[in-house]
Amino acid sequence: MATLNENIRKKPWLGWVIFLVTVVIVFFLGLLASSIMERRAEAVFAYTPQVNYESWEPRNAVWGKVFPREYQSYLKTADTTFRSKYHGSATIDMLENYPRLVVLWAGYGFSRDYKQGRGHYYAITDVRNTLRTGAPMDGKPSPQPNTCWACKSTDVPRMMQTIGIAETYAGTWETLGHEIVNAIGCADCHDAKTMNLRISRPALIEAFERMGKDITRASHQEMRSLVCAQCHVEYYFDNRDGRQNYLTFPWDKGLKAEDMERYYDAINFSDWTHSLSKAPMLKAQHPDWEVYMTGIHAERGVSCADCHMPYKSEGGLKFTDHHLQSPLNNVEASCAVCHREKTMNLIKNVYDRQDQIYANRSKLEELLVRVHVEAKKAWDLGATEEQMQDILMGIRHAQWRWDYSAAGHGSSFHAPVETSRVIGSAINIAQETRIKLARLLATMGYNEEVPYPDISTKEKAQAFIGLDMQKLNNDKQIFIQKVIPVWDSLAAAREAEYPLR
């Protein structure tokens, strides 16, 4: 200190330098403190709900007034430009790309139309436009029940609160068309008062109860996957015990493909009877959560949201990005948080897994087409129900396992080992069933190879199974032009009573 004072006496200007430096330091420290306080205040404002809407408010824009960052990121799901090697958010006509699917689903709505979903933002539009929901008008009902709305809209939990759960499922698809108008969004996953994650679909709660589990004891990290499991799962419509198309998850015996297969066999359930082979078929929906639960990410505690809705920072705030999308379109924020490889190496890793599984799945699809056609030949030659019983069960089990591995578009990444195992078992069952068919055909005097049909295009495949696609498309267009505007008009009149606040 004495030396410093002595230096200042000898060099008076040094004191002014020290003074100015001190002032500058204090000034910038003040700015830093002010910024910290501002960000804290901003965070308190951003994450303290100031709601004046009801718990089951279905309109995402209303929630967006309180949570603008999350809402603005959610709106980005409208972008459908991303397309990966196999999937993405772009519209993909799966029947056009894979015409064999038409034959595999002969007699079922998926043989008419099956496009990859464009995401939550388009859920209402896409389910209205698909040929699977038909053209319900002029007294002609839809071939689908109201339960098909269950995972498409925030209006579904609102209707369940208004008219009841079973009542929401009851009836054919068009009877709630004027009520179900808001796409998947905030109310599906969040409590309006606390913004805590919540389960809004009773089917998931009921499934956990039947498995002896209490879903209310799930951790926050588990909930970041369970809110997805409300919809991204296998399900069926239960009509037993006086129920009408009651949404049910078949997990009573376990979550694996064989477990659900045993469940369905035990209750003698089938989604439809195949129009060629006459087999009682099962249609897998989208068992994404079940497959994910058998993979390494679930084993290590990684949630669905960690990859599909990673955290992001904006203005000093950390929040969940509600732009739900493929992690392949956001590798740095999703995969790279844990993995240190280069982006292109991570993407290649995904594609390598997909390529290998798709090759085996493609072979399985060919075998399934053959076994359906060969079974039809047996029927045409006069086979009996008793002779066909084991064969039909083999067809049912092989195709169920194929569909289980195919319906979840992320299965080849979520759990490649399990998915490969399921496909391998399906190939074995299909081959064994074809051997049984060959023996049966031989006893009936047919020793030739049953010709494989020309199904090289979607159009040829649909003609092969007897679909009148021109009529189906024409009827649908009339429905879209005639009925949908009425639904929208009724919904607009109802919502005008509750304007955005």
Strand partners of residue 115: 93
Longest dimension (CA), the chain: 120
Cα 35 to Cα 22: distance, rounded to the nearest angstrom: 20
| Per-domain residue ranges of the chain | 2-47, 60-495
Straight-line distance from the first to the last Cα atom of the chain, in angstroms, rounded to the nearest whole number: 65
In the block, tokens 């009149």 appear at 493
Q: What are phi and psi of 48, to 5 degrees?
A: -100, 105
Mapped onto helix, strand or coil, the DSSP state of residue 143 is coil
Length of the chain: 501
Going by C-alpha positions, the residue among 271, 231, 272, 236 that lies closest to residue 251 is: 236
Per-residue pLDDT, 317: 82
- Mean pLDDT, contiguous 10-residue spans, the chain (501 residues): 58 59 64 51 50 84 92 95 88 94 98 92 96 95 96 96 95 96 95 92 98 96 97 96 95 97 98 98 96 96 95 86 94 93 94 95 98 98 97 98 92 95 98 98 95 97 98 97 96 80 45
Per-residue pLDDT, 249: 98
Q: What are phi and psi of 311, to 5 degrees?
A: -65, 150
Could you tell me the CA-to-CA distances from 62 to 188, 191, 311, 482 in Å, in that order?
14, 14, 23, 29
Going by C-alpha positions, the residue among 120, 117, 114 that lies closest to residue 93 is: 114
Going by C-alpha positions, the residue among 131, 127, 138, 132 that lies closest to residue 176 is: 127
In the block, tokens 């008062």 appear at 193
Amino acid residing at 284: A
Cα 134 to Cα 473: distance, rounded to the nearest angstrom: 9
Mapped onto helix, strand or coil, the DSSP state of residue 230 is coil
Q: Which pair of structure tokens corresponds to residue 330?
A: 């956001």
Could you tell me the CA-to-CA distances from 439 to 357, 387, 436, 450 in Å, in that order?
31, 11, 5, 13
In the block, tokens 């991204």 appear at 232
Per-residue pLDDT, 42: 46
Per-residue pLDDT, 55: 84
Cα 260 to Cα 266: distance, rounded to the nearest angstrom: 10
- Evaluated on CA atoms 54, 55, 58, 60, the torsion sign reads positive
CA–CA–CA angle 266, 270, 272 (5° rounding): 170
Per-residue pLDDT, 497: 80
Could you tell me the CA-to-CA distances from 248 to 191, 228, 272 in Å, in that order?
23, 16, 17
Amino acid residing at 156: V
- Helices 385-407 & 257-266 angle (0-180, nearest 10): 140
> Looking at the domain covering 60-495, what would its CATH class be?
mainly alpha
Return the H-helix or E-strand segment holding 275. none
Per-residue pLDDT, 47: 52
Cα 374 to Cα 364: distance, rounded to the nearest angstrom: 15
**Is 122 in contact with 75 (CB distance < 8 Å)?**
no
Q: Which pair of structure tokens corresponds to residue 340?
A: 């240190």
Cβ count near 331 (within 10 Å): 19
